[in-house]
C-alpha cells in the first residue's frame, strides 16, 4: 500500500469521526439556543412581575395604622423578592446566552475542520487521469 493511499484512508477516517462530532455539536448548539430562549422568556416575565408590583403605590399614602404598616412591610418584602427573582433570571439568561455563543463558535470551528478534511480527502482520493495509448 502506498503512502498516498494510506494518507487518503487516514483522512477519510478522520472525516467520518469529525462528521459525527460536528453533528453532535450542532445538536448541542440548537439545544443551547432553546434553553436561552426559555431563559429569556422567564427573565421577561420576572421583570414584568417585579415592575407591576403595587409596593410603590402603598408607600405614597400615609401609614396611619399598624395594619397599614404591616401591609406595607409585606408588600415591600414581596417586591424585594420579586426583584431578586428578576435579577436571578437575568443572570441565568446571560449565562444561557453565553453558553449558546460558545456552542456556536465551537460548531463553526469544527465545521471548518470538517470542510478542510473534505477538501483534503477529495484531493487525495482523486485519481489522476492516465493518458490512453493510441493504437
Residue boundaries of the structural domains of the chain: 3-123
Cα-Cα end-to-end distance for the chain? 31
> Cell digits for 80?
424585594
C-alpha–C-alpha distance, residues 109 and 131, integer Å: 40
Q: What is the pLDDT of residues 100-132, one digit of tens each?
A: 999 999 999 999 999 999 999 999 888 755 556
C-alpha–C-alpha distance, residues 49 and 84, integer Å: 11
Task: Determine the pLDDT at residue 125.
Answer: 85
Burial of 33 (0-12, 13-18, 19+ CB in 10 A): middle
Task: Determine the pLDDT at residue 52.
Answer: 78
Mean pLDDT of 41-66: 74
Computed over every residue of the chain, the mean pLDDT equals 86
- CA separation, residue 37 to residues 54, 129, 135 (Å): 28, 53, 70
Strands (E) across 1-135 are located at none
- pLDDT > 60? residue 99: yes
Mean pLDDT of 14-26: 95
C-alpha–C-alpha distance, residues 118 and 127, integer Å: 16
Amino acid at each position: 500500500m502506498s503512502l498516498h493511499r494510506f494518507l487518503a484512508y487516514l483522512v477519510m477516517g478522520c472525516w467520518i469521526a469529525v462528521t459525527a462530532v460536528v453533528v453532535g455539536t450542532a445538536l448541542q448548539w440548537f439545544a443551547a439556543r432553546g434553553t436561552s430562549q426559555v431563559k429569556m422568556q422567564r427573565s421577561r416575565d420576572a421583570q414584568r412581575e417585579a415592575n407591576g408590583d403595587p409596593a410603590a403605590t402603598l408607600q405614597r399614602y400615609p401609614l396611619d395604622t399598624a395594619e397599614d404598616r404591616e401591609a406595607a412591610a409585606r408588600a415591600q418584602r414581596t417586591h424585594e423578592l420579586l426583584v431578586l427573582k428578576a435579577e436571578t433570571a437575568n443572570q441565568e439568561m446571560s449565562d444561557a446566552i453565553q453558553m449558546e455563543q460558545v456552542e456556536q463558535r465551537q460548531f463553526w470551528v469544527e465545521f471548518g475542520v470538517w470542510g478542510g478534511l473534505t477538501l483534503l480527502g477529495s484531493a487525495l482520493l482523486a485519481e489522476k487521469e492516465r493518458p490512453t495509448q493510441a493504437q
